[in-house]
Amino acid sequence: MGMIKLPIGAIDFFKDNQDKVFESGALAEGSWNQEVQKYIVEYTDSKSALATSSNGTGLLSVLHALKYGHGYDDIFLQSNTMYGMKTLAISSGLNLAGFVDCELKTLMPSLKSVQRFVDNLDSPEKSIFLLTHIGGWANPEIKEIANYCHQNNIALVEDCAHSLGATLDGRHTGTYGVAGVYSLYATKAIPVGEGGLVIMQDEEFGDQIQRYSIYDRFQQTQNFGINNRMSEINALLTYSVLQYLDDIIENKYLIANQYIEACNRLGIHFFDPTADGQRSNLYKFILFDDQAFNFDQLNTKTSPVYDYSLGNDPEDICSKHICLPIWYGLEQKEIDKVISEMEQV
């Protein structure tokens, strides 16, 4: 269907500043890392942030800090998430306690499903719940889930790989738990190739994560750490594109509005990006299988958000939705082709 594009202004900003990085001699731990962290703190109204080499290394730093710095032993995930979250949880040295069921209508866990899972744990205290916001939407019950976790001494960690820029009632994903981690992978909201952004709401915990990324080589009081930092040239690229995040999202809404009009006209069930206080970043445009639409005959669809479940979701949610192409700069002729195929099937 085409290739991922970046705003011209972002490309020009990067070109205008890249030589300065090399001239400065600071190819790591330089001013652009600081600028990225400052920007995302202000954008999300957080206390602190760390730019990392990937979403995965950012999450690993959070899990290690909770395990080795705060005594957390167990972790549980939601069933509809990337397989890498399972391997990450195991790699962290935590005990994987299982998977919370997800709901077909949201592709994410509800408060009830979290409570049902926790009720079956022998000792939920000092457990970590790694929750994933799916497709560019905030979990619609994230506030209630966060309150429940807090009341039960469960550390909520938000995997926000899909949801940079997404809000619920004006509040950004990643700001409900002890930490949230965004992805800057080539297909994500800010597609800079590789990278991650960790945001934290507690300054003391944020300091632990900062020290983790440099092996705590200055204070030397933490016995855990690794180099998971973002390079300075990648930080410049991240900052260049991050300035245009809202523009990228608005461009996707221009595309989504055409899909929404077609879905309403054709009676196709879709995941509404602005319903019930949501402002999705439209990482995905999701259609649901309600037997009124033949997915198999749509050639221009993309795969489901995930085409497998790590748990035992009763509604087999992975096989009952697909996604339509939606990315910044998608050409009108490609949008028209998608809608034409929808009309034919």
- Which CATH number goes with the domain that contains 46? 3.40.640.10
Same structural domain, 81 and 157: yes
Which residues in the chain show pLDDT less than 70? 1-3, 215-224, 290-297, 299, 301-304, 307-308, 312-315
> Which residue segment(s) compose the domain that 300 sits in?
245-344
pLDDT score for 215: 67
pLDDT score for 1: 42
Q: What is the SS3 string spanning the chain?
A: CCCCCCCHHHHHHHHHHHHHHHHHCCCECCHHHHHHHHHHHHHHCCCEEEEECCHHHHHHHHHHHHHHHHCCCEEEEECCCCHHHHHHHHHCCCEEEEEECCCCCCCCCCHHHHHHHHHCCCCCCCEEEEEECCCCCCCCCHHHHHHHHHHCCEEEEEEECCCCCCEECCEECCCCCCEEEEECECCCCCCCECCEEEEECCHHHHHHHHHHCCCCCCCCCCCCCCCCECEHHHHHHHHHHHCCHHHHHHHHHHHHHHHHHHHHHHCCCECCCCHHHEECCCCCEEEECCCCCCHHHCCCCECCCCCCCCCCCCCCHHHHEEEECCCCCCCHHHHHHHHHHHHHC
**Domain ends where: 177, 210, 242?**
242
**Domain ends where: 210, 242, 274?**
242
* pTM greater than 0.95: no
Same structural domain, 270 and 183: no
pLDDT score for 2: 47
Same structural domain, 310 and 190: no
